[in-house]
Each structure stands twice: as C-alpha cells, then as structure tokens.
C-alpha cells in the first residue's frame, strides 16, 4: 500500500519531510533564466517552463537521497500553459526516476463526471479507445472537501484501484483559514467535523503501520487545533504545511506525530528551494542553489527529528 511505502521511506531516511517544488521565476537563478531565454527565443512560456524544469532537476539531484518526497504545486506550472504542464510532467517523471514519492498539490474537488475526470487524471488512468493511459501520475493528490462526500468518492475509488493516496484539506495553514474552518456547528468547529469524516473515509484502508492513504492537510501554524485533530484522527496520515516561512515551528508541528514518531510529513517550499537567496545567501552562489537546498533540507530534517519521539 502506498502509505506504507511512503512511511518506510521516511523511516529509512529518518526524515518526515517533503520539499515543495513551487518554483516562481523569482526563485530561479539568473544564469538559468538567461540560458533558457537565449535558447528559446526570448521571454516566453517555453523558456520559463524549461528554466523551471532545470531548476527543479538540479534541486532533485541534491536532495533525492535525503528527502522522501516532493510536492509540486500545479498552479506554478499551469500559469505557463502547455509548456508549464510539460515541465510539471517532466519534473514528476524525474523525481520518480530518483526514487522519490510525488504529492501533487492540486486542491481539486468537484462532483459527478467532473470529479471523476479530475480523479482519473491525477490518480488513475484515462481510457482512450482500448488503451488505458496514465496522465499526471502522482502518488498522492491534495483535494478540497467543500462539495461534500460525492466529490470525495471518485478520488477514493481511484486510490483503491491504483494504490494511490489523498490529502484532504482539513485545517489549512493560511492566516484566513478560520473564516470558514473554525465556524461552530453543533458546538464543534467545521475542521473537527471534516477531520472526523476523513478518519472514517479511510477506516477500511489502513496499512500495516496503522495509517490510511486517505490523509489530511493540517497546518503547522495551528498547534492546538493540530493536537486536537491528532486525537480525532489517530489513523490519518497528515501533510503538514506552514513550517518555516509561514511561521510554523518543529515544536508546533510535533503534535501531528503519534507516540512512535510517525503519522505526518512536513512540507517546506521556498524555505528549501530559495535557500540560496535567503537563509544561505552568504554561503552558496546561485550556481550552487541545489547545494543550498540540500543544506536547508538537512537543517529542516534535524530540526523536526529533534522534536518528535
């Protein structure tokens, strides 16, 4: 089961973290941009997409042996149209060739045939004539539960059929999340109710480590809420954004892990991929952006491992 495979990779590497590949052009070193603008005829989507791809590949080359997974945010690729989607596909393919898991951050969610189409595109197979084709080939995908259970079921069906996983938005890390997620219904905040549903949706799919591939997104920026959600969802694996640049600390997010030190994978995006411009700007050149990402990933790993059992 995919959740067991991910957990075993985390245990092997002693690293419950995922690197978010959210490559704004501002993060891409000037020498890569210059090379691609010259190679592809100026400031166009093809040049931007190829620059992002090269940037990603150089980071993956430096982190694949210490980090179990990457999480590309599809919006950062979609904005460059078909060329951007091509860069996304090649990034996924390259990460998998290095033995990494891929969590695709798409936050999809819709009903009926539209929901089925999203689910097949990112987690399943699309039938064309007599052939079944894998399209976006993620191991896990993030989805939005706002439309209710019938928007979730197509994704769960594809998880069962293709050994894939989900991370369903429960308590997100952004500052405005409470506007809807903290509303009380029968005395309970909405995020607790959603968390209970997520736990139940995965009840029949638990792997040997006790966790289901039907996981939850729980922000590191909300410690007390995360602690409560771990109580409500003891068998739900958590994707934890908000570490680092958004203000979440390793101490805050430690409540997402169980007594065995399992149960969550923590995301950092710009804190890793833009480390050469920020945290390590005096230690690494732009040509060494991948090495800066590795140093930041090691520091993150050690920080988290120092706060969980």
Active site residues: 107
Tell me the two tokens of residue 281.
């700007």
Helix%, strand%, coil% for the chain, nearest 5: 50, 20, 35
d(CA 186, CA 148): 18
Q: CA dist 74 to 17, 18, 57, Å?
A: 19, 16, 16
Other Cβ atoms closer than 10 A to 263: 24
**Are 283 and 295 within 8 A, CB to CB?**
yes
Give the DSSP per-residue string, 240-307: E--BSTTSB-HHHHGGGS-TTS-SEEEEESHHHHTTTTTTTTTT--GGGHHHHHHHHHHHHHHHHHTT
With tokens 């800066």, the residue in question is: 292
CA atoms within 13 A on the CB side of 269: 16
Q: CA dist 162 to 125, 129, 207, 268, Å?
A: 8, 20, 15, 27
- The angle at the Cα of 114, spanning 109 to 118, to the nearest 5 degrees, equals 60
Closest C-alpha among 167, 171, 161 to residue 142: 167
């Amino acid at each position: 089961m995919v959740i067991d495979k991910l957990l075993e990779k985390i245990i092997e590497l002693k690293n419950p973290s995922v690197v978010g590949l959210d490559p704004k052009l501002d993060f891409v070193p000037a020498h890569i941009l210059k090379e691609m603008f010259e190679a592809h005829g100026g400031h166009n989507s093809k040049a931007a997409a190829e620059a992002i791809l090269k940037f990603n590949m150089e980071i993956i080359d430096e982190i694949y042996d210490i980090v179990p997974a990457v999480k590309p945010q599809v919006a950062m690729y979609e904005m460059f149209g078909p060329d951007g989607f091509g860069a996304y596909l090649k990034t996924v393919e390259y990460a998998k060739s290095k033995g990494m898991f891929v969590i695709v951050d798409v936050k999809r969610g819709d009903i009926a045939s539209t929901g089925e189409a999203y689910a097949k595109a990112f987690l399943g197979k699309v039938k064309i004539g007599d052939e079944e084709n894998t399209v976006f080939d993620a191991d896990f995908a993030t989805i939005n539960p706002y439309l209710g259970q019938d928007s979730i079921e197509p994704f769960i069906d594809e998880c069962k059929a293709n050994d894939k996983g989900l991370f369903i938005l429960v308590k997100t890390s952004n500052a405005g999340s409470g506007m809807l997620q903290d509303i009380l219904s029968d005395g309970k905040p909405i995020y607790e109710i959603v968390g209970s549903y997520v736990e139940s949706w995965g009840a029949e799919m638990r792997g040997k480590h006790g966790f289901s591939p039907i996981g939850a997104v729980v922000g590191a920026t909300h410690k007390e809420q995360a602690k409560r959600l771990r109580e409500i969802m003891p068998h739900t694996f958590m994707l934890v954004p908000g570490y680092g640049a958004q203000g979440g600390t390793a101490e805050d997010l430690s409540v997402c892990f169980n007594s065995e030190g399992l149960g969550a994978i923590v995301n950092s995006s710009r804190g890793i991929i833009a480390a050469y411009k920020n945290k390590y700007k005096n230690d690494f050149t732009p040509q060494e952006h991948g090495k800066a990402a590795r140093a930041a990933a090691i520091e993150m790993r050690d920080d988290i491992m120092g706060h969980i059992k």
